[in-house]
Structure 1
Amino acid sequence: MALEVIRSEIGSMEVMQVVEQPIDQYYTKFLPMATPEEIQKISWLKASHHVNKDFSLKGSSQMFIVKVNKRVLVVDTCVGNEKQLLEFPLLTNLKLEFLETLDEIGFDRNSVTDVLCTHLHFDHVGWNTYKKGGLWLPTFPKAKYHFAKDEYDWWHEVAPVNDFLITHKDVLMQSVYPVVRAGLANFVDRDADLGDGISLLSTPGHTAAHISVQIKSGGHTFIIGGDMCHHPCQIAKPDWAMAADFSKEQSIESRRRIFKEIADTETLYTCIHFKSPSFGKVKKNENGEYEYRSIDFTE
């Protein structure tokens, strides 16, 4: 079955979201403080499409494709097919029609100029590669794959030995190292300017060197925040850290800093796991609390 593809236009930019799968069932572990009772206290959120009727949280594993100027940018590449993930048996050895969906909508993988991974967790790098003839090959063979050098170095050299690292070594072997061996990796600073209005923002916390991407074109600006937030409830509650954050203190600081910068501006904001319509503006209410106003740009 073909996957859901959501198309949006933001000024002159075209955005597509390829939805790999829902992740609603994981939020009780991701954000245990976001109980239905607490969500009902957030008036703008409880009536939104980001929650279910029982006030549990909605979310997606998805990949963003942004066409801006002459660039075709892919941001975060989901879990991927046939990946071996020791700690995540339900996500191991997936057989989803992801590539078939791209073919069906007429999207040429060779047209991708840039792939940006906000961090190197397994659900953000999976479709960097696909398996053919027993080998892992780059899915976007003509693209530069941008990795924050600090992020890559941490996972490659520093990460402590534990069960999650064992899983993540497999992730590197399956989804990152094949790109490096193919000569497609571009290791960048966390505040790098990639040209054509594409730049990076350092937003550490969820991982040691997590980054977000900011895209500007024709008077429009939006930020794709990776896993800086896992759900819009963290806009209302920036101090709600995700259970697996590398540094909860840093993740809280990153949210507070970015929301302070973009609140009450025209900058649009989203994160990888936000349900569609995924883009919106951050506003500060009369109580000094942040609210999120979703805007539907879908075609």
Structure 2
Amino acid sequence: MPLQIIKSKIGNAEVFQIVECEIGFTLPSLLPDATQEKIKEIEWLKAPHINEDYSMNAVSQSFIVKLNNRLLVLDTCIGNDKIVEGAEDFTNMKLEYLEALETAGIDRTQVTDVFCSHLHFDHVGWNTYKQGGKWLPTFPNAKYHFAKGEYDYWKNESDNDPMKPIEDTSFKESVDPIVEAGLVNFIDVNTDLGDGFQVISTPGHTKSHVSLLVDAGKEKFILGGDMSHHQCQLANPDWAQTMDYDQKQSSETRRKVLTELNGTSTLFTCTHYTSPSFGKITKDANGKFVFNVVSKEIK
């Protein structure tokens, strides 16, 4: 089945979203504070981000940005033929991601950059694809940007992390082959990638989680990775995800970034936000953050 492709124009940037699959069914266990009763209290939160029964929607997707002769893919979903320990729904998937790239006019051999906000399995899957029993780089001419602290943590410090078994397999399938191919650019958590792409440190969900600030001329936008998993966490920054590396830090990061964005024209989104995915941040009369949806979609 063809995957959903969403195209937007933000400033001088063309932005594509390749939607791999729906993952909203995972959110009740990942965001236990976000009960349907509590979601109902967030007056600005509407469909399609929630359903009539106040359950949450979310997706696995990639953002692809064309800007200043760069073609950057941010977060590469779960991927096909991957083994996700304990998650049968995401294991050995057969989805038309590569076909969706072609339909969107994205030549994967022309991609200049792959940016992984962090190295969880659902953000690195299409780093590679399987051919002839081998894992090959999906974007063979790109620089793959990994935060050095993130990589080092999973390689050397994560023995007690509950994600360790999943990540060990994911690294073998989706990360190690990129390192072995010599395509990785290990970055600091605050790095200027040039041409309007600025790395910003947003730790908490993982040890060295990073987001991307894009200066597209007349407009700017932030691709926030898993800084939040659903818009409800913007109204309630203290609603941490159960698998956060440091829940207190993830909440502090959300509050810091939202405070900086409050009242500005900079657009904000995160990897798992259902479309329309972008919005501006303001505060309501009670001082709580509001996500004001801004659609930039080109039909």
TM-score per shorter chain, which class?
over 0.9
C-alpha distance in structure 1 between counterparts of 2:47 and 2:126, whole Å: 30
Tell me the secondary structure at the aligned position of residue 7 of structure 1: strand
Aligned to 2:16: 16
1:114 equivalent to 2:113? Answer: yes
1:148 equivalent to 2:147? Answer: yes
Cα offsets for 1:40-62 (capped at 9, x unmatched): 111111x3421001110011000
C-alpha distance in structure 2 between counterparts of 1:39 and 1:213, whole Å: 28
User: What displacement does 1:268 show?
Assistant: 0.4
User: What displacement does 1:85 show?
Assistant: 1.5
C-alpha distance in structure 1 between counterparts of 2:281 and 2:104, whole Å: 32
Preserved contact between residue 87 and residue 164 of structure 1 (Cα < 8 Å): no
Aligned to 2:200: 201
C-alpha distance in structure 2 between counterparts of 1:6 and 1:215, whole Å: 18
Aligned to 2:232: 233
Aligned to 1:65: 64
C-alpha distance in structure 1 between counterparts of 2:186 and 2:12, whole Å: 29
Amino acid at match of 1:270: T
103-112 or 69-78, which moves further after superposition?
103-112
User: What displacement does 1:162 show?
Assistant: 6.2
Unaligned runs of at least 5 residues, structure 2: none
Preserved contact between residue 83 and residue 94 of structure 1 (Cα < 8 Å): yes
Aligned to 1:127: 126
- TM normalised by structure 2 equals 0.98
Unaligned runs of at least 5 residues, structure 1: none
Tell me the secondary structure at the aligned position of residue 110 of structure 1: helix
Aligned to 2:37: 37
Aligned to 1:258: 257
Tell me the secondary structure at the aligned position of residue 123 of structure 1: helix
Aligned residues: 298
User: What displacement does 1:171 show?
Assistant: 0.5
C-alpha distance in structure 1 between counterparts of 2:161 and 2:52, whole Å: 38
Cα offsets for 1:236-256 (capped at 9, x unmatched): 000000111010001001001
Q: Please provide the CA RMSD for this pair.
A: 1.0
Q: Percent identity?
A: 50
C-alpha distance in structure 1 between counterparts of 2:228 and 2:160, whole Å: 26
Preserved contact between residue 10 and residue 216 of structure 2 (Cα < 8 Å): no
User: What displacement does 1:276 show?
Assistant: 0.4
Tell me the secondary structure at the aligned position of residue 53 of structure 1: coil
Preserved contact between residue 203 and residue 210 of structure 2 (Cα < 8 Å): yes
C-alpha distance in structure 2 between counterparts of 1:30 and 1:164, whole Å: 13
Preserved contact between residue 64 and residue 74 of structure 1 (Cα < 8 Å): yes
User: What displacement does 1:161 show?
Assistant: 4.7
- TM normalised by structure 1 equals 0.98
Aligned to 1:276: 275
User: What displacement does 1:66 show?
Assistant: 0.4
